[in-house]
Amino acid sequence: MTDLLTPVLTENWADQRAWKLVNYERRGGYGALRKALEMDPADVVALVKDSGLRGRGGAGFPTGMKWGFIPQDNPKPKYLVVNADESEPGTCKDIPLMMASPHTLIEGVIISAYAIRSNHAFVYVRGEVLHVVRRLQQAVREAYSAGYAGKNILGTGYDLEIIVHAGAGAYICGEETALLDSLEGRRGQPRLRPPFPAVAGLYASPTVINNVESIASVPCILERGVEWFTSMGTEKSKGMTIYSLSGHVANPGQFEAPLGITLRQLLDVAGGMREGHELKFWTPGGSSTPLLTAEHLDVPLDYEGVAAVKSMLGTKALQCFDETTSVVRTVLRWTEFYKHESCGKCTPCREGTWWLVQILKRMEAGQGQQGDIEKLLDLCDNILGRSFCALGDGATSPITSAIGYFRDEFEAAMHTPAWELFPYERSTIFVREPVGAGA
């Protein structure tokens, strides 16, 4: 039986200047790279396949299998692209990882690129995190200086260029094909698939795109082995992962645990909801994953467990809201987000999110009209599955799930403003002591 919390990726996050190469190496950093470089690239792919590592960015696709799709007989260059565009509402694990220990990611990048026989890797990081960009840039420079990147890595004859690329503010660029268009210097709009990026990705060449946490999990698998990794987690969801607890909890933060932990267990170790309040609803993996309620506290937070209750593990962004929170208000704000971030390519998403906001706004004001709930559901039905990418689908998740669990609040929106039913100041957390801030 493994422990409840299992820090691996987060193990050095409290170290002094953990972001420096010397401190990363002091903990054995880049040992996994040396090991990988002694292996045949195909064996590295096989190892990651055997580990059962699945994508930590939302979809949960097996990482090794993705690598295996790269056609090695294709004469074009192969590319590795790290999706560091962390923007899904509630998701906040990759940013602290890259801030604290950028070398964990960079070591993973070099091993992964070697495995797929790529000589060019990109880290596409969202632009709105200046200090993370600085730390990544510095880590890459350090890796070059130490001979871990560039020409003839550690004397093996393997070459790899690593480019840190800052985005410019667009949630949609977290969608892998939109990210590729953006990385090619275009508007970030999703592409029709097939062809999939493994066949025709960046510059129409074979490309692997993985989330930060997925790539950062590769070095420890190399270092400690498949048996070690698979001793954590559940049957089909192997290993440890980072859960992000936020909202009306007593102590928000990052918790690394084997896949399959429950929200009840996490809340127990973290001190529960804020004092005097109880859990009303939560997201298992960001705002695009259907809401859950207190009745789901014991759902195993692995890919299968969350799917079984008609939601998704997503990014493991556990946003918890207590009984002071208006569901209508919350759903409106998420819908405004999707409306703002819709890239405009597909009509159902572009137009649909706009209309959803209009209806939810009047409902928040207590001026909903008869038939509005049905209209919301009808609009969602016309968006879901009718656009190129998952943004539109995600936009419908909070609405349809919220109506499912809290229909009475939407009924009340026909006559009473949300701020009267749920005075907004009661939902603020200013009672908690601020950390630092120099104030």
Q: In this structure, how many other beta carbons lie within 10 angstroms of the beta carbon of residue 157?
A: 9
Q: Is 30 in the site for other proteins (CB under 8 A)?
A: no
CB-CB contact of 153 with 147 (8 Å): yes
CB-CB contact of 277 with 299 (8 Å): no
- Footprint of other proteins on residues 278-337 (CB under 8 A)? 287, 317, 319, 321, 325, 329-331, 333-334, 336-337
Q: How far is the CB of 223 from other proteins (least distance, A)?
A: 8
Question: By C-beta, is 30 or 243 nearer to other proteins?
Answer: 243
Q: Is 168 in the site for other proteins (CB under 8 A)?
A: yes
Q: How far is the CB of 177 from other proteins (least distance, A)?
A: 15
Q: How far is the CB of 308 from other proteins (least distance, A)?
A: 25
Question: By C-beta, is 65 or 323 nearer to other proteins?
Answer: 323
Site string for other proteins, 373-402 (x = CB under 8 A): ------------------------------
| Stretch in the footprint of other proteins (CB under 8 A) among 109-117, 144-152, 181-189, 299-307 | 181-189
Q: Is 192 in the site for other proteins (CB under 8 A)?
A: no
Q: Please state, in angstroms and rounded to a whole number, the distance separating the CA atoms of residues 333 and 283.
A: 14
Question: By C-beta, is 49 or 362 nearer to other proteins?
Answer: 362
Residue choice 73, 276, 370, 430 for contact with other proteins (CB under 8 A): 430
Biggest distance spanned by C-alpha atoms of the chain: 73
Rounded to 5°, angle at Cα 185 from 183 and 186: 105
Q: Is 436 in the site for other proteins (CB under 8 A)?
A: yes
Residue choice 148, 171, 388, 406 for contact with other proteins (CB under 8 A): 171
Q: What is the DSSP pairing of strand 253-258 with strand 240-247?
A: antiparallel
Helix (H, G, I), strand (E, B) or coil at 423: coil
Q: Please state, in angstroms and rounded to a whole number, the distance separating the CA atoms of residues 326 and 229.
A: 41
Query: Residue with structure tokens 């990611």?
Result: 105
Q: Is 405 in the site for other proteins (CB under 8 A)?
A: no
Q: In this structure, how many other beta carbons lie within 10 angstroms of the beta carbon of residue 146?
A: 16
DSSP code at position 295: G
- Footprint of other proteins on residues 60-119 (CB under 8 A)? 77, 86-92, 94-96, 99-100
Residue choice 73, 75, 130, 192 for contact with other proteins (CB under 8 A): 130
Q: 96: closest CA among 253, 215, 240? A: 253
User: The tokens of 307 are what?
Assistant: 């799917």
Q: Please state, in angstroms and rounded to a whole number, the distance separating the CA atoms of residues 408 and 155.
A: 67
Q: Please state, in angstroms and rounded to a whole number, the distance separating the CA atoms of residues 87 and 105.
A: 18
Residue choice 26, 151, 310, 340 for contact with other proteins (CB under 8 A): 340
Question: By C-beta, is 359 or 380 nearer to other proteins?
Answer: 359
Helix (H, G, I), strand (E, B) or coil at 327: helix
Q: Please state, in angstroms and rounded to a whole number, the distance separating the CA atoms of residues 138 and 264.
A: 39
Q: Is 56 in the site for other proteins (CB under 8 A)?
A: no
Residue choice 71, 147, 169, 371 for contact with other proteins (CB under 8 A): 169
- Footprint of other proteins on residues 196-225 (CB under 8 A)? 203, 224-225
Question: By C-beta, is 95 or 312 nearer to other proteins?
Answer: 95
Q: 171: closest CA among 359, 418, 349? A: 349
Cα dihedral 55/56/58/60 (nearest 10):
30
- Footprint of other proteins on residues 355-374 (CB under 8 A)? 358, 361-362, 364-365, 367, 369
Q: Is 4 in the site for other proteins (CB under 8 A)?
A: yes
Q: Which residues contact 243 (CB under 8 A, 6 or more apart)?
A: 254, 255, 256, 257, 261, 266, 301, 316, 318
Question: By C-beta, is 3 or 295 nearer to other proteins?
Answer: 3
Q: In this structure, how many other beta carbons lie within 10 angstroms of the beta carbon of residue 420?
A: 11
Q: Is 146 in the site for other proteins (CB under 8 A)?
A: no
Ranges of beta strands (E only) in 271-367 are 279-283, 292-293, 317-322
Q: Is 419 in the site for other proteins (CB under 8 A)?
A: yes
Residue choice 5, 146, 154, 421 for contact with other proteins (CB under 8 A): 5
Q: How far is the CB of 27 from other proteins (least distance, A)?
A: 13
Q: How far is the CB of 66 from other proteins (least distance, A)?
A: 21
Question: By C-beta, is 65 or 390 nearer to other proteins?
Answer: 390
